[in-house]
Each structure stands twice: as structure tokens, then as C-alpha cells.
A and B are shown apart, each in its own frame.
Chain A
């Protein structure tokens, strides 16, 4: 599903070159639920951006769902991203002037993945699936943090992507809500979606298939473990 070969990312800063990722090799199977763990600044977000095609590697190859995305031009990359990747953010990033259901319909409108008439029906079904169907016609500001993140997850699933990425999806939620959100990701993985989340939540071992620890831009070999489920 995901195959990274010798991926490095270097940023030019006023203080000199900064290596955010150093020679990363990584393989993630279809339907796997992977947790990327590490301290702030360790390179978690850079790795996720690499998988989403938001950022490009300085060197190395990134293949996701059979596409060599590091080689795609920007416009084709945007189309590919819309259909293949769902992204969940720490601060939800819902559009404030759109209702919950409209926020979920938006990716379908942009990518034209489903016929116009089916879009609202599908959006409502997705909201039901993440248990916020009752709030479909409310504006994000009237929802709680957990509800907003559920809407954001429904939006990430709108185009039925094979890969869902989440950057600190529970970072802004209380622990009870965080647990239920992580369960939601677990269920998505069980249904065949590949899920990669970046977190510094220690308590994710319960739900994930594999834990990848990033230290200083490198995958730490000893702490990266397989969990048998």
C-alpha cells in the first residue's frame, strides 16, 4: 500500500540546512493501522505530509496505492490526493460557514466522485457511521470538539479513499472522547482502510497494529514493534 525508499527531507533555514527526515525506508500494508509516535519536531508531521503528497521528498521514492507520487506534477498530485487520501487534522479545519453535511459533501463536489444527487445521501450516511447524524444541519461552531472531529473524519472518508492520514487527531480532545475517536479509526481499519496517525498519545497501543517511533528524523529500529492482534 505504502512504500518509502530512502526518503530524506531537508529544509533550508536561516540557521542552515535542517534534516527533517533522514533516509527513511518504510512499508505499510493495505488495511494496516499504524501509529507514528515521536516528540515534537521529530519529523512525524513531515512523514505524514510525505504520504499525503502535500510535501515532496528531497530525495528518495514515495509510492502510495501503486502511484509514484514524488514524480507527479502538482496539478495531477492534487487530483490524486483528492481521490486517494483522507486527512484529519488536530484542529478539525471544518469550514465555519458550512453545515456538517455540507462540509462532508465538499470533497465530493470538488472531485466529482459521486453523482450530484447521491452526494448528500452519502454524506448523511457517513455522518451516521461516525455517530453524528443528528447534527447534520448544524454549523461546526455549535458542535463539541469530539463531534467536530467526527464530522472531520466523515469528511476524510467522503471520497472513499484507500488511505486515511491523521495528524494528532486526538490532541485537542479529552481522554474519553479521544478513546472513542481512536475506536472509530480502528473500525475503519477493520473495514480495509489503511490508517496512519501521528500522535504522542502513549495510550494507543490498544488500537494500532504497528507502532513506528521516530527520533530525530529517523525510524528508531528497537522501539518500532509489531503488535499481534
Chain B
């Protein structure tokens, strides 16, 4: 053995406590590094698997209205393997005496047959009954609510309505609710009608605040009331830009104040207001 080797070995032996510490520190560092790398690999793999297991949608089409015919037409395209209608509404949910959180409501027609961007039931009821809402498991903290609580949701025209939280779901495809500070809720079609969002087969709860929304409002009013664009324009102006009001006025021929009263007493549900006025 040459002298440099002898020196190295003797130095290590001379400082054996320090040598052991350094070896331990290196071993610890390497294993920590390996642990981080393997957790990263496992997490990435499992997150991808978890996401892919929900059969995530490759594309989302946003439409004014959706019916079975439209879905069928989309499925005609040989490159589309599956398609499912799902309505999305934005509103607010009460999280405290004066605190409101953004709410994104997903309306699922058939909870027994979700094929695209699937939901995993976690606790409580599945599917939600009429007047009930399921909350994404990460959104309970945002909503400051628990299963069984009655919560107040506010729709775009400001009408507050109660819903009961009946369960929780895991929606892998959504951004984390706590990060987005938003509550993801899941209701059925009957609850959507109850909230006053639907007239016929259309989402009528539109405030015509900008050109795009006004164009959509015009299309819906023309279709619902069976009138031409010129008259629809006048109708929306008379209603001060409020589409539900415009529909009630166009379909019943009543005055603005009458329509407002009717909508107020029907909690904003257009169909009920029209029925009441037509009696």
C-alpha cells in the first residue's frame, strides 16, 4: 500500500467519529433524495392514472342549450367515441353570516350513467335527490359546511334559495377547490329547474351584460317566445337587459312591474311565473 492510501486510512481512523457522522449524513442525504425522487415518480404516475380513470373529456363544447338531438349529432362524428351533456352554472354559496363564496354547479342528468369525466361518490347520498346538492370533497372547507347542512345559494339574478348538502364526491378533473377558492356542487336536473335556471330546455338565467351574452339572450328569447330579432331586441331593452323578465313579458304580454312581481313570488322560476300570470 502506498503512503497516500495509508494517510487516507489513518486520517479516517483518527477522526472516526467525524467519519461515521459524514458517512451517515451522506447516506441520509442520498436516501432522502431517493425518497423524494421515488415519491415524485409514484405521485406523477398515480395522479395520471387517477385522472385517466375518470375518462376525462378531450374537449368541452359550451352551448346555449343542449338536447338529446345535439348530443346525437355530435356522436355522429366517427372521431368522437362518447359525449355527455352536462350543464354548468355559476352562482354563489353562503359560507358565513355575510360571506359568499363562488359556486360552480354541475347538473348531471343521470348519476347512474356518467361515462365522461366521471365522479367518484365519497360519503353520504348518491345520487342527490331534488333540492339536494353534493359537494366536492375538497370544497367543504371553502363552503364551511358539512354533510346534512342546509346552505343558501344565490343565482345570478340575486334570488337566494336553500339546498341541502347530502353527500360528497371526488371530482378528479377539477382544479383543487381550496386553491381556486371555489365550491364545486353537483345537482340533478329537477333541482336546476327549481332554481329557476331553465325554461323549456334552455338556460334562461342570462343577464345580457355584454355583447356576447346579449346575443345569446336574443337567440334564447327568439326561440322561447317565437319572435323575430327586431322584436326580441325591443323586448330585452324593455326588460332592462334581464332575460327571464323579457321572456315572461314576451310570453304573457304583461307589463314590466307585473312580470317582476310574478318572478319574485316564483323565486325566479320563469315557468311558474308564466303559469301564475296566465291563470
Interface residues of A (CB under 8 A from B): 95, 97-98, 102, 105-106, 109-110, 116
Distance between B20 CB and nearest chain A CB, rounded to angstroms:
18
Contacts of A105 in B (CB 8 A): 3
Cβ of B14 under 8 Å from chain A? yes
B10→A116 contact, CB < 8 A: no
For A97, A105, A109, the residue with the greatest tally of chain B CB atoms inside 10 Å of its CB is A97
Residue of B nearest to A123 (CB): B3
B10→A97 contact, CB < 8 A: yes
* Contact partner, A102, options B7, B11, B14, Cβ 8 Å: B7
Given contacts A98-B6, A102-B6, A106-B3, 17 further A-B contacts (CB under 8 A): A95-B7, A97-B7, A97-B10, A97-B11, A97-B14, A98-B7, A98-B10, A102-B3, A102-B7, A105-B3, A106-B4, A106-B7, A109-B2, A109-B3, A109-B4, A110-B4, A116-B2
Distance between A97 CB and nearest chain B CB, rounded to angstroms:
4
Cα–Cα, bound, A102→B5 (Å): 11
Top 5 A-B pairs, shortest CB-CB distance: A97-B10, A109-B2, A109-B3, A106-B3, A105-B3
Interface contacts (Cβ under 8 Å), in number, total 21
Cα–Cα, bound, A225→B181 (Å): 90
Which residues 11-39 of B have a CB within 8 angstroms of A?
11, 14
B3→A98 contact, CB < 8 A: yes
Contacts of B3 in A (CB 8 A): 98, 102, 105-106, 109
Cα–Cα, bound, A109→B14 (Å): 22
12 contacts across the A-B interface (CB closer than 8 A) = A97-B7, A97-B14, A98-B3, A98-B7, A98-B10, A102-B3, A102-B6, A102-B7, A105-B3, A106-B3, A106-B7, A116-B2
Cα–Cα, bound, A110→B7 (Å): 13
Distance between B160 CB and nearest chain A CB, rounded to angstroms:
73
Cα–Cα, bound, A98→B6 (Å): 8
Distance between A105 CB and nearest chain B CB, rounded to angstroms:
5
Cα–Cα, bound, A109→B5 (Å): 10
Cα–Cα, bound, A26→B6 (Å): 42
Contacts of A98 in B (CB 8 A): 3, 6-7, 10
Cα–Cα, bound, A116→B3 (Å): 11
Contacts of B7 in A (CB 8 A): 95, 97-98, 102, 106
Distance between A48 CB and nearest chain B CB, rounded to angstroms:
26
Distance between B163 CB and nearest chain A CB, rounded to angstroms:
74
Residue of B nearest to A108 (CB): B3
Distance between A190 CB and nearest chain B CB, rounded to angstroms:
30
Cα–Cα, bound, A19→B3 (Å): 40
Contacts of B10 in A (CB 8 A): 97-98
Distance between B133 CB and nearest chain A CB, rounded to angstroms:
72
Contacts of B11 in A (CB 8 A): 97
Distance between B50 CB and nearest chain A CB, rounded to angstroms:
56
Cα–Cα, bound, A95→B11 (Å): 10
Residue of B nearest to A106 (CB): B3
Contacts of B2 in A (CB 8 A): 109, 116
Contacts of A102 in B (CB 8 A): 3, 6-7
Residue of B nearest to A98 (CB): B7
Cα–Cα, bound, A98→B10 (Å): 8
Distance between B13 CB and nearest chain A CB, rounded to angstroms:
9
Residue of B nearest to A120 (CB): B3
Cα–Cα, bound, A105→B4 (Å): 9
Cα–Cα, bound, A105→B10 (Å): 16
Distance between B72 CB and nearest chain A CB, rounded to angstroms:
78
Contacts of A110 in B (CB 8 A): 4
Distance between A197 CB and nearest chain B CB, rounded to angstroms:
27
Cα–Cα, bound, A167→B146 (Å): 83
Residue of A nearest to B5 (CB): A109
Distance between B271 CB and nearest chain A CB, rounded to angstroms:
86
Contacts of B6 in A (CB 8 A): 98, 102
Cα–Cα, bound, A105→B6 (Å): 11
Contacts of B4 in A (CB 8 A): 106, 109-110
Distance between B7 CB and nearest chain A CB, rounded to angstroms:
5
Distance between A142 CB and nearest chain B CB, rounded to angstroms:
15
Contacts of A109 in B (CB 8 A): 2-4
Residue of B nearest to A107 (CB): B3
Cα–Cα, bound, A97→B4 (Å): 11
